[in-house]
Amino acid sequence: MAVKSAEAACTALQGQTFEGAVVTKARFFPTAGAVPENCLVRGEMAQDLAFEVRMPTAWNHRTVFMGGGGFDGAIAASAYSPGLAERGYATIATNHGHTAMSPIRDGRFALDTEMLNEYAYLAVPRVLAPAKAIMKARLGSTEVASAKMV
């Protein structure tokens, strides 16, 4: 059986379902300056919960679950965390269950108890299972199982 290229392995994730999340975007990025080639996957779940997993082809077996800041409502780009991509970290980020017009200032979602609970308690554990499943599909199950989450 032929080994898929890094790009083919990445884009093959498009449309797949992992632990209740549908992959709505799977995009391969070639090396750009000091940032090595990587695969960016966007997953979407019920209740407006969205997340992204960025996986470098040359992964260092460490993963950072990134916070979004403010009231979230948007997904933080790993490019805003200096050195993570360059050092081979995989990253996971989420919108915490809602989309905001102004993520730092828009707290209107908190008036809805269900959305507030998603933001405060539920989003991270709900996202972690499909994010790890996506990583296993792309990077290999043994590698993800032994990876350090920071």
- Say which amino acid occupies 103: P
| Residue-wise pLDDT tens digits, 59-113 | 998 888 887 766 777 787 654 577 888 899 999 998 887 877 765 677 777 888 8
Burial class (CB in 10 A: 0-12, 13-18, 19+), 44: middle
What was the pLDDT predicted at 111?
Answer: 84
Q: Where are the domains of the chain?
A: 6-149
Its pTM stands at 0.87
What was the pLDDT predicted at 78?
Answer: 53
What was the pLDDT predicted at 104?
Answer: 62
Categorise residue 72: left if φ over 0, alpha if ψ from -120 to 50, beta otherwise: left
Tokens of 56: 């470098």
| Residue-wise pLDDT tens digits, 3-56 | 679 999 999 999 999 999 999 999 999 999 988 999 999 999 988 899 999 999
Sign of CA dihedral 79, 75, 8, 5: positive
